[in-house]
Structure 1
Amino acid sequence: MVTAKLPMKVPGPQTPQLLQKLQWVRDPVGYMETASRDYPEVFAAQVVGFGNHLIFVNNPQAIKYILTHDTQEFFASGEMNGILKPLVGDYSVILLEGDRHRNQRKLLMPPFHGERMRAYGNLICDLSDKVMSQFAPGETFVARFAMQEISLQIILQAVFGLYEGERAQKIKQAIQSLLELFNSPLRSSFLFFPRLQIDLGSWSPWGYFQRLYREVEKLLYAEIEERRQHPDGDREDILSLLMSARDEAGNPMSNVELRDELLTLLFAGHETTATAMTWALYWVHHHPEVGEKLRAELATLEENPDPMSIFRLPYLTAVCNETLRIYPVAMLTFPRVVCEPMELLGYDLEPGTAVVGCIHLLHQREDLYPQPDKFKPERFLERQFSPYEFLPFGAGVRRCIGAALAQYEMKLGLATILSHYELALAQPNPVKPERRGVTLAPRGGVKMKFLGKTEKKLTSPATAMV
């Protein structure tokens, strides 16, 4: 007698959908860790933005399978990233699919890799030094604001080729104001609950967002129009590359398409890096022995070292990797959609099911990272992790375009600050993570005290600006 195999649906939390959605927005770490205690490798979540169910997976082999079988069993849908549409528009590379997505990535990749990226090295060091030098001894400051200043200046150079000027300052200020609207779980809820996206005038939260957003659009369109009227074939910034690109029919990108890609790079290109740098400053001062060991490594550098020699320092790399592991800025990979009936980890998945790699839970696996709640940079010196065991930037066809620049910026910025300045935490209690938009950030932005300057310099004044 042959008995048919009964389908095994992915289990998950049984609390009502609305409560799951609210907890996911209010306390994403608590939601994920509570669910994983009952469903260690995979669970079905009922959270905002992905229909009724989203399958969370933290098994490294399963994550590799999901992210490397695009267009076969899985499809890297751009439509599933629609929660970001209010920020990045309809034509962002994040929302594109298939050939359009692939071709757009090819256009955006060069400035974030190779010689062009390395040219930003001295700029990163110089800007880090410039921002931190503005504080007076004894002054208390919010680390996140300082790191945002550094990161946004760098991305403005990469995207627009703008070092300074009135428009660059206006764009920077408008972007900062816009992102601060999502600086808490409550404010972030507007992204997750579309019914809250109602413009009731400038006094209402979404109305205020819309007016700031239109100000950013106005500035971007002004920059695009100026470039169209005064083209410069020698420029190598991303906007210039996008404006010179042509599709198969020989048509250039429209102003709306250009705007959406610029918004994507401005939002995604600096916000996440600023968060990572803030966490790094927190951890090296929360654990003084880590800071002392890192400063000892930095002291071995020769005077005015080449930025790449800083980038390759092993303990600095370990500190940055552990920072990205313990509280990854991106909690989930971009979703993949099941294309045909299949089995994953013993469970049946139907076509149309959305699946994500849960980066946070993966990085908290005891079998990969013993004592995962402890900040231990040495684990990255003792073991080599695969791209599907450690993936702070995602993986596959939707891996973060700016991953290389983000790592470069994080290492050089942290090295410059620790070599030039003495800082201390200005708050006694441990800093916890909380939702900031669709990312995870340190609650309160990390308050620090500026103690003074040191003598060591990492860059030569003659080469500080590239």
Structure 2
Amino acid sequence: MKFPDGPKTPALLQSINIIVNPLNYLEDCAKRYGDMFTIRFLNYPPTVFVSHPQAMKTIFTANPQTFNTGEAMKELPTAFSGENALPLLDGDLHKHRKKMLMPAFHGERMRAYSQLICDITKQQMTQWKKGEQFHVQGSMQDISLQFIIRAIFGVNEEARFQQLNQTFISLLNLMSSPLTSTVLYFHALQQDWGPWSLWGRFVRLRQQVDDIIYAEIKRRQDNPALLGEDILSLMMKARDEQGEPMKDVELRDDLMILLLGGHETTSMSITWALYWIHRLPQVYEKLMAELDTLGDNPDSSAITKLPYLNAVCHETLRIYPPTILGAYRIAQEPIEIMGYHFEPGTYILPCIYLTHRQEDLYPEPNHFRPERFLDRQFSAYEFVAFGGGSRRCIGYALSLFEMKLILATILTNLKLALPDNRVIKPVRSAFTVAPSPMYMIPA
């Protein structure tokens, strides 16, 4: 079997490049080798990266039995999630678990979150002092983490909420830099040499988060009257095809995925959106004119239907998707993708970032132009910010809903300004690509 061409440097160097400097490395590979190329990671099978929409369609529409995704994902860091989380499951188990979880993220449940999102955002805004800089991403993380914790747990007791909030932030901050996050990708570095070592601190903070989660699960099991309409309650009430509830460890692992993905990626995207909106006057003016049509106290459904706001959010997710790679696939049967014949066992990885850099789809891809999403409708193989196929992110609708409401709440209640003409650049975070430190000033 012939693999697509790719870098010839040692596997260790390729691994370091994709971890520390992923965007430049991926773009360089695409320029050199095209829409499909092979990267060799240390102690890992050769991985075929694909980005052309035709290849995306082949992968996303394939029979679920064609690929084994969960087994491939288990080779990636599971330090946060454990091995029972939805993204690591395959076949009927993945299908049934996703079916159990879906009701918590769509329809009436989302509308029920709207007031909570707006209230938390307004509360955060009271901490921004006129004329004084504030760290944008830090504030957006506070908003999104408060929301996802309250949405998941329905936590009303302030002490318990603050304990989980502060512990989880400490856990994330510990692994937020390119240097420290490297330990998540190399098992040999995961050595607990006590509470002063990096991995030792991580393990102890993770245990504190686990203790809080398991205590909350037990509290509800002991008193079913506490089960409400929050996400954890809905998960605990859900039953599989055999009428069985989720196990405690399954609840814990899925909750960790929701905490991680439900706040970090969303907060980064909102930060990027605020940057582009305030850096480009024409975008700000057009968006404010649209928001002004809503009048006072608009309904959340009216906000989420605004076409230009929707275009701004989609363009934000296009230009710097917080998750730059899709879910791994391992071929379970022979498959042809754009003229290449791959045998069972081949590792294939959709590259979201490079799909969004296809110049025939997105001319001048480094320019922020929301009008792209007004001029045409992109297919599910061309705009892939949330992945695709059966592996599409379960929380994609909630993420967009939250993003739109937070932006609308901020923009209609406060005028912000960038303090200088500093260009914000993407930097490596633990599992994502974040904006470099950005500050704004309330006018």
Q: Which TM bucket (shorter chain)?
A: over 0.9
- 1:143-154 correspondence to structure 2 within 5 Å: 143-154=136-147
Change (3 A) 1:289 1:108: same
Aligned match of 1:15 in 9, 18, 23? 9
Deviation string 1:303-336 (CA, Å, 9 cap, x unpaired) is 1111110111111111111100001111111011
2:100–2:240 CA contact under 8 A, matched in 1: no
- TM-score normalised by the chain length of structure 2: 0.96
Aligned match of 2:315 in 322, 326, 339? 322
- 1:121-270 correspondence to structure 2 within 5 Å: 121-232=114-225, 235-248=228-241, 250-270=243-263
Change (3 A) 1:370 1:248: closer
Change (3 A) 1:48 1:230: farther
Change (3 A) 1:199 1:370: same
- 1:427-438 correspondence to structure 2 within 5 Å: 427-438=420-431
**Identity score, percent:** 49
Deviation string 1:174-222 (CA, Å, 9 cap, x unpaired) is 1111111221211110111111111111111111101100110111111
TM-fit CA distance, 1:233: 7.2
The reply on whether 1:96 has 2:100 as its aligned counterpart is no
Partner of 1:448: 440
Structure 2 Cα separation of the partners of residues 426 and 224 of structure 1: 45
Structure 1: gaps (5+ residues):
1-6, 452-466
Structure 2 Cα separation of the partners of residues 341 and 222 of structure 1: 46
2:220–2:227 CA contact under 8 A, matched in 1: no
Number of residues of Structure 1 aligned to a counterpart in Structure 2: 443
The reply on whether 1:339 has 2:337 as its aligned counterpart is no
Structure 2 Cα separation of the partners of residues 349 and 204 of structure 1: 43
1:435–1:441 CA contact under 8 A, matched in 2: yes
- TM-score normalised by the chain length of structure 1: 0.91
Partner of 1:40: 34
Structure 2 Cα separation of the partners of residues 28 and 245 of structure 1: 39
Aligned match of 2:21 in 20, 27, 36? 27
The reply on whether 1:409 has 2:402 as its aligned counterpart is yes
Deviation string 1:392-451 (CA, Å, 9 cap, x unpaired) is 00111111111001000001101111111111223532111122112111122x222222
Q: Which amino acid aligns with 2:137?
A: R
Q: Which amino acid aligns with 1:42?
A: M
Secondary structure in 1 matching 2:48: strand
Change (3 A) 1:250 1:179: same
TM-fit CA distance, 1:244: 2.4
1:81–1:335 CA contact under 8 A, matched in 2: no
1:76–1:397 CA contact under 8 A, matched in 2: no
Q: Which amino acid aligns with 1:253?
A: M
Structure 2: gaps (5+ residues):
none
Structure 2 Cα separation of the partners of residues 423 and 187 of structure 1: 33
The reply on whether 1:61 has 2:57 as its aligned counterpart is no
Partner of 2:382: 389
